[in-house]
Structures are given as C-alpha cells and as structure tokens.
C-alpha cells in the first residue's frame, strides 16, 4: 500500500504531504540555482570592474607620459631660443 505522506503515521501531528515535500525540494533547488547564478554574475561584474580599472590606469599613465614629454620639449626649447639671440 502506498501512502501520500512522508511520515510513518499519516494522521500524526508531524505528517507532511508528499506534494509539500516535493515543493520544498524544488524550491530549495531553485534557491540554490539562484544563489549560484548570483555568485556568477557577481564574479563577472568584478572581472569587468577590474578590467575597467586597468584600462583607466593605463590611460592615466599614457597621459602622464605625454605630459612629461611635452614638458621636457618645452623646457628644452625655451633656453635654446633665448640663448642663441645675438646682435
């Protein structure tokens, strides 16, 4: 004989319907899946954020190098222009 409850005595106070147990298991699995998906999305977000930070650092370094180069060029041009003046 097959019963529709999980407990030995289907009329006891702690008896749970098999349908309810199945729903609990399904919702538990769905919950676990959603946690895994959320963790995966969070990893992707973090990875994108790190890549963006690397790009920004690289851009800043490039701009800094350009500014330094321009500064050196300007400083080397100024003394030569004033020192070569003769009458």
Q: DSSP string of 41-65? A: HHHHHHHHHHHHHHHHHHHHHHHHH
**Is residue 43 over pLDDT 60?**
yes
Q: What is the pLDDT of residues 5-32, one digit of tens each?
A: 554 555 666 667 777 778 888 888 888 8
- Token digits of residue 37: 């998906």
Domain parsing of the chain, residue ranges: 1-79
Average pLDDT estimate for 45-67? 93
Per the listing, tokens 């992707």 go with 44
Q: How far is the C-alpha of 45 from the C-alpha of 53, rounded, in Å? A: 12
pLDDT given at position 7: 47
Determine the average pLDDT of the residues in 71-83: 69
**What value does the mean pLDDT of the chain take?**
79
Per-residue pLDDT for 79 more than 50? yes
What residues are paired with 5 via a beta bridge? 17
């Amino acid at each position: 004989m097959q019963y529709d409850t999980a407990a030995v005595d289907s009329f006891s106070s702690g008896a749970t319907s098999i349908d309810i147990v199945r729903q609990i298991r399904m919702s538990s699995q769905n919950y676990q899946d959603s946690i895994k998906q959320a963790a995966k999305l969070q990893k992707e977000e973090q990875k994108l954020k790190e890549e963006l930070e690397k790009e920004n650092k690289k851009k800043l370094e490039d701009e800094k190098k350009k500014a330094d180069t321009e500064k050196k060029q300007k400083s080397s041009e100024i003394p030569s222009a004033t020192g070569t003046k003769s009458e």
